[in-house]
Chain A
């Protein structure tokens, strides 16, 4: 928020707060990943983590590092690192999805969870788990997310048609209400699938999935979630200027020369793809897409060019620590990380509502 204090010296943007915040957030993320890997039942040091990573990347010899203990290597490389990195990727992706949804619907409360995407993805996943076709889980989650998004937007647009003046666009309220309806329907359908056909084991599996967890994360999870974030997340995060144009609604964006229908369609498909990919690896984790962008806006303002990358970094760090809590608080029992994000997110959300009163 610090660039261009008005009206003095508009030429001097110098080092904007966004850049500083970005550097801090990136360092915090790297540090968090390293430290989170060391935390757990078996004590490790950051040095152990560094040695394993360096050796695995083939730089151990060059750096003169002795081959790490096999147990340490297994713990870092097979168990903790994939899990921590998956958490980071999922957190980053959810935060980006949240920001994009909030911009397009002009609603600070929009996130993939709220607009039915997560519930659609969960329904797809529950069906597949019940059928025992676990390999299809990513596909099913994506199909579910896309179908839910299509239903939400279709419902919102249909409700808007025929209005006086043909405004017809997706108003924030209509979109959120439609998302709520789709969400509820998805949840009911998921319950039905569980009720009708799940056996005891499947029930546990589906439940842990519905609450969100990265406990079983492997390098494949890292590849899917991380790849999706790198490709789709970067694409979405590069659209900051375009998202800014939606600040005062679709008409204002159109009047600024933005091809509104095309942009919204592309971005929402991007969000659905990304959410589908993330949810397939982690289950549905709430509040990350909602709380993180809120918090980041307090620091750098609402400009999307700063907000998107910073939200991604902070979302990643947040979920790394939320997952670390989830696996350590009640050791040796593990909580689904979705419970932790909800336990942190719900009070924070209430606080935001409380402090936002004066403004409304």
Chain B
């Protein structure tokens, strides 16, 4: 049923010991769109992203790329290196103490594209520089990653993911700890990637930012039986008080942005 290129996760389950973290979660992220993964802390957003990325095996369920008519590509059964050329993950707060330059950090994104023991080729360098340029960070290429600000580092991580040349981009709270300008810059980049046809699934905390930048949202709710999908669909259908309030335990008022007409969520304090 899903259009080609869509990322489809079905009945994904995962338990940490006796505690169920994800309980039969279904998520679809259409190609060429930004899908926001929302939900309170502990609803399993990061876990779901890790499972979809193939970094953590699920307790059950399947993750696939819809191929439209033809057989879906099973992402979990895919060889690791091919999966890493198909799908990139930008983690939260990835850092290092080692004195790595920005260009070298972005070149890491080329790892799945070259031989296991091979070094970076000229083509790899060109792709890495283009990725840095796209992320608006080409001027940082010679800097050490550990000396960058939060916003700069986020751009570098985005560039590293772009250097993988993925069809699917998974982002775990990409705007965390960023000032508002850096948040907007990050989301603008994400939107432009989606316009180019990349399937984006991004875990986000800020509901108004999600409302302003996502095409679709999936709202996860924590429950005694683990995180489950409370609602999924277009922003205007999901980010409404009677859906949001019970999940977060808050009272929401939805305003309209005077220029964009997008929903803006405010909360009773």
Contact = CB atoms under 8 A, between A and B. Distances in A.
Interface of A: 1, 4-7, 10-11, 13, 102-103, 106-108, 162-166, 172, 238-242, 244-245, 247-249, 251-252, 254-259, 297-298, 301-303, 305, 359
Contacts of A238: 117
A289 to B, nearest CB: 15
A136 B94 CA distance: 45
Nearest to B138: A7
Contacts of A255: 53-55, 84, 88-89, 91
Contacts of B205: none
Given A6-B142, A165-B50, A239-B117, A257 B111 contact: yes
Given A7-B133, A247-B105, A305-B119, 11 more contacts: A6-B141, A162-B16, A164-B42, A165-B21, A240-B119, A244-B108, A245-B111, A251-B94, A255-B53, A256-B84, A257-B85
B69 interface: no
Nearest to A12: B122
B142 A251 contact: no
B54 A254 contact: yes
Given A166-B16, A166-B47, A6 B138 contact: yes
B55 A242 contact: no
Report the 9 A-B pairs with minimum CB-CB distance, sorted nearest first. Answer: A257-B84, A6-B141, A257-B81, A257-B112, A248-B94, A255-B89, A256-B111, A257-B80, A254-B55
A7 B109 CA distance: 18
Contacts of A7: 129, 133, 138, 141
Interface residues of B, number: 54
Interface string B182-217: 000000000000000000000000000000000000
Nearest to B102: A6
21 contacts: A7-B133, A106-B96, A106-B97, A108-B97, A165-B50, A172-B97, A241-B114, A241-B118, A242-B117, A245-B111, A248-B95, A252-B89, A252-B108, A255-B53, A256-B108, A256-B164, A257-B83, A257-B111, A297-B98, A301-B104, A302-B101
Contacts of A11: 122
Contacts of B98: 102-103, 106, 108, 247, 297, 302
Most B-side CB within 10 Å, residue of A7, A13, A106: A7
A85 B109 CA distance: 40
A10 B125 CA distance: 7
A244 B111 contact: yes
B174 to A, nearest CB: 15
B146 interface: yes
B103 interface: yes
Contacts of B81: 257
Contacts of B118: 241
A251 B50 contact: yes
Nearest to B105: A247
B26 to A, nearest CB: 20
